[in-house]
């Protein structure tokens, strides 16, 4: 029973989905802590895009994937950890594209 339950949450797809969502949650948490007096669209357009700090903020939010990655490693869910690593590379590729190719 325990092995089946553990295997159910050990997939690369689940890790990739969590790895893509975790930085968005941390960005929303940053918004709630610091800029909750603004609407989220005003925060995104005026603060992040207006000051040109979207990429540095995204790169800081991706650090939360490190926590998720280590949680999966410590609980021996290696396939999910690979998915988180894949999502981190997707974010990194996006940031490289925005910084150097655009």
**Per the domain annotation, does 27 fall within a domain?**
yes
**Per the domain annotation, does 22 fall within a domain?**
yes
**Per the domain annotation, does 4 fall within a domain?**
no
**Per the domain annotation, does 19 fall within a domain?**
yes
Q: Is the dihedral of CA 90, 14, 66, 73 positive or negative?
A: negative
Tokens of 71: 């949680």
Segments of the chain with pLDDT less than 70: 1-6
**Per the domain annotation, does 1 fall within a domain?**
no
What pLDDT is stored for residue 7 in this prediction?
A: 72
What pLDDT is stored for residue 58 in this prediction?
A: 95
Count how many domains the chain has.
1
**Per the domain annotation, does 3 fall within a domain?**
no
- Give the tens place of pLDDT for each residue, 21-40: 999 999 999 999 999 999 99
**Per the domain annotation, does 89 fall within a domain?**
yes
Domain extent for 83: 9-101
């Amino acid at each position: 029973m325990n092995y089946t339950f553990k295997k159910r949450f050990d997939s690369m797809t689940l890790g990739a989905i969590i790895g893509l969502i975790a930085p968005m949650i941390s960005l929303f948490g940053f918004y709630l802590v610091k800029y909750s007096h603004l609407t989220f669209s005003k925060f995104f357009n005026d603060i992040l895009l207006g000051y040109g700090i979207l990429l540095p903020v995204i790169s800081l939010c991706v650090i939360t994937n490190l926590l998720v990655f280590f949680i999966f490693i410590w609980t021996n869910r290696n396939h999910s950890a690979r998915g988180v690593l894949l999502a981190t590379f997707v974010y990194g590729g996006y940031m490289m594209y925005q910084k150097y190719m655009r």
